[in-house]
């Protein structure tokens, strides 16, 4: 669900006529740019490290059929990593940290192992119950993505700071700042050995948005937003798609504006929003789901999306986009990109029911709310759920089931 919230925040920024460069979460554009960085691609350099299949940190569905989360009874008790077997619905304790004061932080999940940087220490926890290893780090590191070889940190959350990546090497513990282009807005890791960047391209340095507000908005009128494949080992960019900052102008004065949703198979999926900017705000006329090849060619219309103020939620299966969820209707509707079909799922006589994760074993992880607001979680067969079935298996939570 984190991807969904980031996407909605970014799209909300895209639809405003008076907002500085569109962003996700803390993803704002820096205030300076050079013409050289804005108009030329970064030259390739010799790779100094291998890059594997990159996935998001904190996404607990990277191991098919398993999900992971933290459990801590109170701030004064040790923190545990809990494993959910999505075939049986049973939770168990994978590992308990000895320290009672553990800061929050994402899990770095790779086949056979979970890693977690805590302070200046990297924990490596085998999923088969083997010996846990620790490694000292050069400094603090807050990862957002990882592969089998290292983790990546995306930092620079202020308009005055150039956004860039740092890499943590799992073998040496070394932290290295990577080469990134100027004015990166946000990024997506989609299970490939490259990252998709969303960045702002300008022909000249932008004025300071704080001290030269009017000049900034005048300059941003001619800016371009661009999607690129980014090789973290070399800094090389490969352009996917670009459009004017405020969208592609239509004959009637409206605009079409695309926003990236995810990758599935060998296709990239975008939401194309047809909107009209006016006073006092923005009117969404319609939305469509479109896809293209990984190089930005072969654009295809997939389906119409709900219009109105709220676009669909996205739900990924590991690093792959799988569902678009329309919560504006009752009951909700789900578009599955694998069969290109809208479905009406089962609700099971609760006041509300919502899919939270797709564990990758043909199941869907559901949250259901009673009228009193209490939540319970369970697992259902994905195909049956999409067909309207209300059958599910309640999760046997830890430590309640072992007490």
Query: Strands (DSSP E) along 217-338, which ranges?
Result: 224-230, 237-244, 248-249, 255-264, 267-277, 282-293, 300-305, 313-317, 320-326, 333-336
Give the 3-state secondary structure of residue 13: helix
Phi and psi at residue 53, to the nearest 5°: -75, 110
The pLDDT of residue 348:
58
Query: Strands (DSSP E) along 156-221, which ranges?
Result: 164-169, 175-177, 184-189, 195-201
**Rounded to an integer, what distance in angstroms lies between the CA atom of residue 363 and that of residue 378?**
10
Phi and psi at residue 70, to the nearest 5°: -90, 150
Report angle CA 258, 264, 265 to the nearest 5 degrees. 130
Residues of the chain predicted below pLDDT 50: 1-46, 403
The pLDDT of residue 283:
87
**Rounded to an integer, what distance in angstroms lies between the CA atom of residue 31 and that of residue 219?**
12
State pLDDT tens for residues 167-192. 999 999 999 999 988 888 899 999 99
The pLDDT of residue 400:
66
- CA nearest 294: which of 235, 229, 236? 229
Cross-strand partners of 268: 263, 292
The pLDDT of residue 258:
96
First to last CA, the chain: 30
Give the 3-state secondary structure of residue 30: coil
Q: Do 143 and 151 meet the contact criterion of CB atoms below 8 Å apart?
A: yes
Residues contacting 104, CB < 8 A, separation 6+: 70
The pLDDT of residue 380:
93
């Amino acid at each position: 669900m984190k991807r969904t919230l980031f996407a909605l925040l970014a799209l909300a920024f895209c639809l405003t006529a008076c907002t500085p460069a569109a962003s996700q979460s803390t993803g704002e554009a820096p205030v300076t740019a050079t013409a050289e960085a804005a108009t030329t691609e970064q030259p390739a350099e010799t790779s100094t490290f291998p890059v594997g299949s990159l996935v998001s940190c904190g996404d607990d569905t990277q191991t098919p059929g398993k999900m992971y989360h933290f459990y801590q009874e109170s701030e004064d008790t040790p923190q545990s990593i809990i494993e959910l077997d999505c075939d049986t619905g049973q939770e168990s304790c994978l590992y308990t940290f000895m320290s009672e004061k553990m800061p929050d932080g994402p899990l770095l999940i790779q086949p056979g192992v979970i890693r977690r940087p805590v302070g200046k220490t990297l924990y490596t926890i085998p999923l088969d119950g083997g010996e846990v290893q620790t490694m000292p780090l050069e400094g603090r590191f807050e990862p957002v993505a990882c592969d089998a070889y290292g983790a990546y940190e995306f930092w620079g959350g202020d308009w005055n700071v150039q956004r860039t990546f740092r890499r943590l090497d799992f073998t040496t513990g070394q932290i290295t700042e990577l080469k990134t282009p100027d004015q990166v807005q946000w990024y997506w890791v989609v299970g490939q050995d490259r990252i998709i960047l969303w960045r702002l391209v300008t022909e000249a340095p932008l004025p300071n948005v704080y001290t030269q507000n009017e000049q900034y908005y005048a300059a941003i009128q001619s800016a371009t937003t661009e999607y690129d494949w980014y090789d973290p080992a070399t800094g090389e960019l490969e352009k996917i798609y670009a459009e004017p900052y405020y969208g592609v102008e239509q004959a009637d004065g409206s605009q079409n504006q695309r926003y990236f949703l995810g990758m599935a198979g060998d296709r990239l999926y975008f939401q194309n929003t047809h909107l009209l900017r006016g006073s006092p705000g923005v009117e969404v006329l319609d939305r469509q789901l479109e896809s293209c090849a990984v190089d930005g060619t072969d654009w295809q219309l997939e389906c119409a999306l709900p219009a109105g103020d709220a676009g669909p939620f996205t739900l990924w299966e590991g690093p792959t986009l799988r569902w678009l969820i329309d919560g504006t209707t009752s009951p909700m509707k789900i578009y599955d990109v694998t069969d290109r079909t809208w479905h009406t799922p089962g609700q099971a006589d609760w006041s509300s029911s919502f899919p939270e994760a797709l564990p990758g074993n043909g199941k869907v992880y559901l949250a259901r709310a009673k009228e009193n607001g209490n939540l319970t979680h369970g697992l259902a067969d994905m195909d049956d759920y999409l067909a309207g079935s209300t059958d599910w298996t309640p999760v046997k939570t830890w430590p309640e089931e072992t007490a």
